[in-house]
Structure 1
Amino acid sequence: MDIKYLRLLAKEYPTIESAASEIINLSAIRSLPKGTEYFFSDMHGEYEAFLHMLRSASGMIKIKIDLVLGKTVSAADREKLAELIYYPEKEIARLAGCGELSDEWKRLSIYRLILVCETVSAKYTRSRIRKRIPEDMVYILDELLNVTDDVNKDYYYDEIIGAIISTGIAETFIISLCKLIQSVCIDKLHIIGDIFDRGPRADIILDELMKMHDVDIQWGNHDISWMGAAAGNPALIANVIRIAMRYNNFDVLEDGYGLNLRALAVFAAETYENDDCRLYMPNALDDNIYDPVDLDLGAKMHKAITVIQLKLEGQLIAKHPEWEMQDRDIFSRTDFAKGTVTIDGREYELLDKSFPTVDPASPLALSEGEAELMNVLKASFRHSEKLQRHIRFIYAKGAMYKTVNNNLLFHGCIPMDENGELQSVSIRGRKYSGKTLLDKLGELVNQAYFSSGEEKDYADDFMWYLWCGAKSPLYGKDKMAFFERCFIADKSLHTENYNAYYTFSEKADVCMSLLELFGLDSEKGHIINGHVPVKIKNGESPVKADGKLLVIDGGISKAYQSTTGIAGYTLIYDSHSLNLAEHKPFVAGESGNTPTIRLVEKLERRANISDTDKGEEILDKINDLRQLLEAYKAGLIK
């Protein structure tokens, strides 16, 4: 018995009665059903679709509405109620504009919302629900949700609802009730990487995640790219800007994070004034609302930052021969006079032969204008308050992997060789593989942002390797064919081969071995990945290895939907089962576009909090409190 620890605990529970009361309270909590966990992956800036998934709990709120009101309310009215819960402010404003915001509508809506809220909150303690209610609404909602007198229940509802309407707070109350339903439906949120890039506004996604009561993030390679850029890595600064240029995502850079692109626009317009830059025309999947940029200028900016990125990446490869990436510095092997490049002994003609900022004698050296531009951009990234706040949140809530309730969560892969053995990565002369590799990489990622001096410099550089290195667990391919896709027409060179993990992990025994490597129960556990879009239209399944592996990248990003055939997955783990929600392409205002829910695994019995990691933590505290009780009774602590 650690008497020093017990004395500290006694400050929180200073009497036998307070310690005993907390033991009873915690024991009761352990007997409740486990909360519902939601797993998302690869949102890639698609804020509208993702926020809809959060607000609708990936279709589960609509299922609850149908369960509670299916026999008494028409399908059309249930759809309207769902839309109200998802977008209460917008729906109330619409009804007010149409003159349909009557007292009768308010009365009926409040009554129905209470019934839905009672159902979704039934498995939680009253104190837990109260914590999620706005302070000025706590008393009213607590009363409405916990009426025990069935005989007078309707009368009680009528009196309180009537008072809510007569005092003029009905609209505010309805909004609070809708947001409470949204909050209660998602008890814990797991993000399996890649919040950034391709879609229009990753910053809006992060604003929403920062409001969530319980969220964790497993870093993806696109997240690492932004984290490295925020830490000051020039190659990654160029990379995130280039990807934004490619997908016409100026809003996230300028309006979202206030990054100064004027210097890039001026430099590109002057340097490539007589170049049509047709190869670099942005892929306009989304329109810029706040910062519309002429596509011709956008193409010039895209080319300018692409050339800079190739130079900076080549410099990193030359600086770190231990990465064994010399074959990826293709820019140094380009014959700029002929407009060709030699790869694997074969000469290829470049699609673009105009490189006014490249010195053929020293192709990786930035021109004076490029160097000055990068200094401006680096300062802009380092001084963006909102970007730095978001990145600190990603660090605080994130890691290379997470183990939770016997599930192993990581974005990409555990690198393996062609024999199915764990592949090692050399870091400062020492080799790491498997769990130790991910743990070491987690240290490096933190050092890149929080350390200083030589330690930071090395970690800063390694962030780029994590973005695209062949043995990076977050990338997991033999190469990133960035140069080939930009400049070579032969598509056979565009192929990026996946790490052997993606083949071996489809075997149940391999997944079980990996689960055991991370200290998990291989019989009960699952590996949950993102990163690789599941092409369901080609017959692929997100459930692999006899249910041991779940790959939940289904293409929330519009850039992938033609490949996958759907618009993303949500993995939902409640107290009864493990389910996959298969989403249809998001269309604003169509809440009826409910996802298809697929049962993955039915639990043998309903899972309680006592069956979870949280339950183990609570049990540890109960045992500590029991020791405190004994210390009180023995007089060791007064």
Structure 2
Amino acid sequence: MKPSKTYRSENLHYLKMLARQYPTVQAASTEIINLQAILNLPKGTEHFISDVHGEYEAFLHILNSASGVVREKLDKLFGTSVSKAELDQLATLIYYPKEKLEEIERENDDMREWYRITFHRLIEVCREVSSKYTRSKVRKAMPKEYAYIIDELIHTHYEDSDKRDYYENIISTIIDIDRASNFLVQLCELIKRLAVDHLHLVGDIFDRGPRADIILDSLMEYHSVDIQWGNHDILWMGAASGSRTLVATVLANSLRYNNLEVIETGYGISLRPLSVFANEVYKDCDIHQFAVKLTNEDEAHYTEKDKMLAARMHKAITIILFKLEGQKILRNPCFGMNDRLLLDKIDYENKCITLGGTTYPLEDTDFPTVDRNDPYALTEEESVLIDQLTASFRHSEKLQRHIRFLYSKGSLYKVFNGNLLFHGCIPMTAEGELMRFSIGCENLSGRAFLDYADLVARRAYYNKPGSPERQFGMDFLWFLWAGRNSPIFGRDRMTTFERRLIVDESTWTEPKNPYYQFYNDPAVCDMLLREFGLEGPHCHIINGHIPVKSKKGESPMKAGGKLLVIDGGFCKAYQKTTGIAGYTLIYNSGCFRLVSHEPFVGRRNAIRENQDIASSSVVFERLESRMKIAGTDVGRQLQEQIDDLMALLWAFRSGEIAEDHKK
């Protein structure tokens, strides 16, 4: 049999290297058989989540439950034989094994029978979720200390009377030697590990919610994940890279929404220098436009003095931000954003500003650090302050570890198993063409521009500090965050200045890129998919970024299901607008399923009351036949390995490469 690839003499060097790993016909043949068998297994389950915005409790619950996949397995196995209350408890046990087990132990004097029954059920679940994987892959996923035992249990046929005693003896021994609680926790973790083969996080881990750092800690421990950077992720990546502008933006946003826990507790960044500066410089200033947004719960804990300090800090850092943004725009005329230079347009005498030919009154012109003749220059005190704060971001070990992870697992877009994933948009013109950019590049659009933008974003973090490449990279990260028609911002302008200082809300609008009209057209979606090398009936664009207003009847499915927007309001701040608490997507070997979630009751209630997130699931697309690994990206890579091994077999049998039987 001839190999599917033809190899010229120069390819023999590669085959000789491959022969070091597979030195004989038998070794190469065995691997071909193994790989060919894997190609015929069902495709693993993919889980898509977007726009989690620091809401770590809801995120971890969705992750633990796999958006209902775990409960679906329980209902399938035990729905007709176990009560709903017991199933609720079993589901909670799998989601939160340590915490739930502690509660159960407090309520039961004799745990032996409970353990025995529960182990039987958990092993059945393990058997179910492991069925689509090779035994080798399942074994690698198992905790090392229990791998042999679990492997024996899930591959034992209980109907065999000889095996039944063996099975029961293993469980009894685990209970007798007081390893039951530890073994149970490991079983639950294995179930969650096997329920989902791969996780996609389609952007915006940071901001609004309290603890993005906890989310990133969990993602770093997850077995298989990719991330498409959102605008809020890029913001923090820029701050960690040393961009003073993006440090100021992070702080202004966090102060505005009283979201300082992640900065101070999560990343250990002290805001005392800012508070001292604000209390000194803005002590007698008008600060009413910079009042911090507080929840009812926060109101009870904040004194008037606290509120005043927070507003002063917010105003101080916002003025610094306006100056630094102006410097970036002036330094980078290629951004085409000179119309966003606003500090020099203020008429202080008449307390107004003229924008687009219309004059608007300003609520506040009390800016003690702004030099009217040089409005974008920082004072010496401001410069020292922002340098100090930026150094704190650069020296936060935990933040830097998280940002390195975002760079290693993340990108602006991802093509995976026939789907195109990105957070924001593919910028388009009003005529429906791909928008072209010349920002340190020449006339790039579509995939080429996103590839270029991804490269420049990495230079901001990895190039030598002080180098022109790193400086432009940091400026470019700001463009991605707030620049006109940026692929992850997707709007004409960011109206922070107008929202803070102008009452007329008509100035607050941030017109969306035409992409957000065209993405309802199936032909446009097909064109965009082709731009990224995708074509076929089961190819989709998967977006986040723009919350779907479900309560107003908006659907997350666009263009007849060609495009899916899975930002449904994970963040509590958006739930009044969306009416729900987020969408997630499940793609398994048989179908695509969109899941909508109601607000989470909180971790404590979930554990104590066995309350899952109320969700509704809709299968919106079924595959004609069950997809096997052969039809996936991994399958294509495995087929290439098979082709290479077939070529090696041919080289062995033709005598071009000698077998090495000593190995």
Kept in 1, the 8 Å contact 2:158–2:164? The answer is: no
Q: Which range is displaced more, 244-253 or 169-178?
A: 244-253
> Secondary structure of the residue that 1:210 maps to in structure 2?
helix
**1:40-67: CA deviation from partner (whole Å, max 9, x where unpaired):** 1111111111111000111111111111
The equivalent of 1:69 in structure 2 is: 78
The equivalent of 1:330 in structure 2 is: 342
The equivalent of 2:14 in structure 1 is: 5
CA pair 285-151 structure 1, distance change in 2 beyond 3 A: farther
Give the one of 310, 313, 323 matched to 1:311: 323
Partner Cα distance (1:636, 1:397) in 2: 41
Give the one of 478, 485, 497 matched to 2:492: 478
The equivalent of 2:661 in structure 1 is: none
The equivalent of 1:240 in structure 2 is: 250
CA pair 156-595 structure 1, distance change in 2 beyond 3 A: farther
**Equivalent residues, number:** 636
Give the one of 158, 183, 197 matched to 2:168: 158
Kept in 2, the 8 Å contact 1:335–1:341? The answer is: yes
Partner Cα distance (1:99, 1:115) in 2: 24
Kept in 2, the 8 Å contact 1:41–1:553? The answer is: yes
Partner Cα distance (1:57, 1:277) in 2: 45
Partner Cα distance (1:174, 1:273) in 2: 58
The equivalent of 1:421 in structure 2 is: 433
Partner Cα distance (2:233, 2:193) in 1: 25
Give the one of 47, 51, 57 matched to 1:38: 47
Q: Which range is displaced more, 270-279 or 305-314?
A: 270-279
Partner Cα distance (2:250, 2:80) in 1: 52
Cα distance, 1:148 vs structure 2: 3.0
Cα distance, 1:292 vs structure 2: 9.2
The equivalent of 1:558 in structure 2 is: 572
CA pair 366-425 structure 1, distance change in 2 beyond 3 A: same
Say yes or no: does 1:204 pair with 2:177: no
Partner Cα distance (1:574, 1:8) in 2: 37
One-letter amino acid of the counterpart of residue 492, structure 2: D
Say yes or no: does 1:175 pair with 2:175: no
Partner Cα distance (2:280, 2:135) in 1: 64
CA pair 101-493 structure 1, distance change in 2 beyond 3 A: farther
Say yes or no: does 1:382 pair with 2:402: no
The equivalent of 1:52 in structure 2 is: 61
CA pair 286-225 structure 1, distance change in 2 beyond 3 A: farther
Partner Cα distance (1:165, 1:512) in 2: 57
> Secondary structure of the residue that 1:314 maps to in structure 2?
helix
Provide structure 1 residue ranges, at least 5 long, that are not aligned to the other structure: none
The equivalent of 2:413 in structure 1 is: 401
Mapping 1:156-305, distance limit 5 Å: 156-275=166-285, 277-285=287-295, 294-305=306-317
Partner Cα distance (2:20, 2:187) in 1: 37
One-letter amino acid of the counterpart of residue 571, structure 1: L
Partner Cα distance (1:151, 1:292) in 2: 67
Cα distance, 1:157 vs structure 2: 3.2
Partner Cα distance (1:240, 1:563) in 2: 23
The equivalent of 1:519 in structure 2 is: 533
Say yes or no: does 1:466 pair with 2:466: no
Question: Alpha carbon RMSD of aligned pairs, Å?
Answer: 1.7
Kept in 1, the 8 Å contact 2:286–2:364? The answer is: no
Give the one of 584, 591, 600 matched to 1:570: 584
Q: Which range is displaced more, 625-634 or 164-173?
A: 625-634
Partner Cα distance (1:283, 1:188) in 2: 37
**1:403-438: CA deviation from partner (whole Å, max 9, x where unpaired):** 111111111111111110111111236111111111
Cα distance, 1:276 vs structure 2: 6.6
**1:342-380: CA deviation from partner (whole Å, max 9, x where unpaired):** 212222222223212112222111112111101101111
Partner Cα distance (2:218, 2:296) in 1: 20
Provide structure 2 residue ranges, at least 5 long, that are not aligned to the other structure: 1-6, 659-663
Partner Cα distance (2:369, 2:191) in 1: 57
Partner Cα distance (1:385, 1:12) in 2: 40
Partner Cα distance (2:496, 2:167) in 1: 63
The equivalent of 2:3 in structure 1 is: none
One-letter amino acid of the counterpart of residue 603, structure 1: L
Kept in 2, the 8 Å contact 1:199–1:247? The answer is: no
Say yes or no: does 1:615 pair with 2:615: no
Kept in 2, the 8 Å contact 1:248–1:286? The answer is: no
Q: Which range is displaced more, 447-456 or 38-47?
A: 447-456
Q: What TM-score do the two structures reach when normalised by structure 1?
A: 0.97
Say yes or no: does 1:503 pair with 2:517: yes
Q: Which range is displaced more, 587-596 or 64-73?
A: 587-596
Partner Cα distance (1:472, 1:429) in 2: 14
> Secondary structure of the residue that 1:460 maps to in structure 2?
helix
Partner Cα distance (1:265, 1:582) in 2: 41
One-letter amino acid of the counterpart of residue 300, structure 1: R
One-letter amino acid of the counterpart of residue 583, structure 2: Y
Say yes or no: does 1:491 pair with 2:505: yes
Q: What TM-score do the two structures reach when normalised by structure 2?
A: 0.93
Cα distance, 1:101 vs structure 2: 6.5
Task: Indicate the percent of aligned positions where both proteins have the same amino acid.
Answer: 50
CA pair 292-381 structure 1, distance change in 2 beyond 3 A: farther
One-letter amino acid of the counterpart of residue 549, structure 1: L
Cα distance, 1:519 vs structure 2: 0.9
